[in-house]
Structure 1
Amino acid sequence: MRPRLETAAMDAITVRLFETIDEDNMAWIMAADSALRQAMGGALIDLTPSYTTLLVHYDCRRLSFADARKAIEKALTDLAPAESQNGTLHEIPVWYDESVGPELPLVAQRAGLEVDALIERHCAHDYCVFALGFAPGYGFMGLVDKALATPRLKTPRQRVAAGSVGIAERQTAIYPLRSPGGWNILGRTAVPLFEYAKKGEPLLRPGDKVRFKAITRAEFEAAGGDSTPLEERP
């Protein structure tokens, strides 16, 4: 692996470690995150890890571009993958049902599975949180079993309910608040991701893992979940 540095702005540098998305990348990404935070010290404004890159935003009043580049290059010398990502494993309870997950039968049919088998397969993997984006608290996770990979909807919905759990290609995610969206919705969780994000403490962070757990409607509603059906068509 040979890191590549790319100018992102007058006070930001993108560190590109990989060209393709892979769960194994995150051990390297998180090792780079730790090394860069230590190297940049008080000059660091923000550091954003993602699928294959890290964005280093620094204070150009304290560090010139040339010096920032040198500090980054030095920090990445002899970089080794982290033995442990030190991320948190989150168990997210999900009510899988066609009323709140209209694409549940579609994704099952495409995969050649019964709906119950699809749910079991979706819950069988600990998904890596690759990046945060789109909306506060929204974590892009993967990689979904190839058999479950499903293209985005041709026409996005104007309103996807908060807590909706969906699949797009080989990624899965949870909508933290009501918003437009084109992912295939399988169910809904009552975990208030947006509330965590509002406090500046997002529940999901890059390097974390998420394990989905199927629950009943009664359990979902007892946890404060909104069981209002989601429209079937966008």
Structure 2
Amino acid sequence: MRIESVSENTCMVYFGDQIGAESAGLVKRATDRLRRDMSDLIVDLVPSYTSILVTWDLEQADRFAIVRRVRAAIDSEDDGSTGGDSARIVELPVYYDPEVGLDLEDVCEHAGLSRDEVVRIHSEQLYQVYAIGFAPGFAYLGSTDERIAIPRKSTPRLKVPTGSVGIAGTQTAIYPSCTPGGWQIIGRTPQKMVDWDSDSLALVQVGDQVRFRAISRDEFLELGGNLDEL
């Protein structure tokens, strides 16, 4: 673990340089412990792939005191466990079809696989939430099976429909709102990814795991899905 100052009341806590399940687990556990043990000092926590941005109340503590408290909180109750078995698993229904999967056929062609094979490969994987960013509720999930990995679009769309499920490289994600984007869209979920009435806003958090479940057009509509382009 490495702690570096960013500003007079902000520091970055690093847990390595490799993106993966191990780093995600460390970030998740550290975030939970900081929220538990330092709620009196911390103003905001922003977990990412391998780090946490910590902002504290400058009137309550200086940089040296914060570093000591951060280390003590993160090291507390450290039994060496990975915590993977206790990770929350969120299942998301997805309608995989060119009707809403704007790039599904292109992904199939790039991978040299049938539509059913692409859907099966994408939906059978258990994904780790590595980071939340770009837009509220936009979760970066990894890792996508190499067989269906595909680069981002060379020209991003100006508007990607809400709920769109996309692939970029070996990551997959869901667009929580209608925004510009260059991910390859293979389906759409009726599940709302942002809850403005909750404290966390996002349906999933760093450290959670996500599994996709393929659904029919009828089920998509029954669950409140929207077939409109935007």
Q: TM-score, normalised to structure 1's length?
A: 0.90
Supply the distance in 1 between the matched residues of 2:198 and 2:60 (Cα, whole angstroms): 29
Question: How many percent identity over aligned positions?
Answer: 37
**Contact 2:161 2:229 (C-alpha < 8 Å) held by counterparts:** no
Q: Distance in 2 between matches of 1:84 and 1:157?
A: 36
- Distance (whole Å) between structure 2 residues aligned to residue 229 and residue 166 of structure 1: 15
Kept after mapping to 2: 8 A contact 1:136/1:198: no
Is residue 156–residue 183 contact of structure 2 (8 Å, CA) maintained in 1? yes
Q: 1:26 aligns with which of 10, 24, 27?
A: 24
Deviation, 1:109, is 2.0
CA spacing shift, 1:120–1:159, aligned 2, 3 Å: same
Residue identity matched to 1:66: F
Alpha carbons of structure 1 residues 158 and 142: separation in structure 2 relative to 1, 3 Å? same
- Distance between the aligned counterparts of 2:6 and 2:86, measured in 1? 28
Distance 1:44 1:86, change over 3 A: farther
* 1:1-234 matched pairs, under 5 angstroms: 3-77=1-75, 79=78, 80-84=80-84, 86-194=86-194, 196-197=195-196, 199-200=198-199, 201-229=201-229
Which amino acid in structure 2 is aligned with residue 205 of structure 1? Q
Distance of 2:118 and 2:175 partners within structure 1: 20
Q: Which runs of 5+ in 2 are unaligned?
A: none
Cα deviation 1:183-218 (Å, max 9, x = unaligned)? 000011111123x14544421111111110111111
Looking at structure 2, the residues matched to 129 and 110 of structure 1 have their Cα atoms a distance apart, in angstroms, of 25
Assess if the C-alpha contact under 8 Å between 1:23 and 1:143 holds in 2.
no
Q: Residue type of the partner of 1:13?
A: C
Cα-Cα RMSD: 1.9
Kindly state the Cα deviation for residue 90 of structure 1 after the two structures are TM-superposed.
1.1
Question: What secondary structure does 2:154 align onto?
Answer: coil
The alignment of Structure 1 onto Structure 2 pairs a total of residues equal to 227
Any idea what SS the aligned residue of 2:32 has? helix
- C-alpha contact 1:31 1:81 (8 A) present in aligned 2: no
1:41/1:99 Cα in 2 relative to 1: closer, same or farther (>3 Å)? closer
1:81 CA displacement: 4.4
3-state secondary structure, aligned to 2:95 = strand
Distance 2:154 2:165 in 1: 18
Structure 1: state its 5+ residue gaps: none
Distance 1:225 1:190 in 2: 4
- Superimposed CA distance per residue, residues 69-122 of structure 1 (whole angstroms, 9 cap, x where no aligned partner): 222233344853443474321111111111211211221222221110000000
Distance in 1, matches of 2:128 and 2:222, equals: 28
Q: What letter is aligned with 1:62? A: Q
Instruction: Indicate the SS of the match to 2:110.
Output: helix
Change (3 A) 1:58 1:193: same
Answer yes or no: is the 8 Å Cα contact 2:22–2:82 preserved in 1. Answer: no
Matching residue's letter, 1:44? I
Moved more, 88-97 or 71-80: 71-80
Kindly tell me: are residues 44 and 111 of structure 1, through their superposed partners in 2, closer, same or farther at Cα, counting changes over 3 Å?
Answer: same
Question: Structure 1: which 4+ aligned runs deviate by more than 6 Å?
Answer: none
2:21 alignment partner, SS class: coil
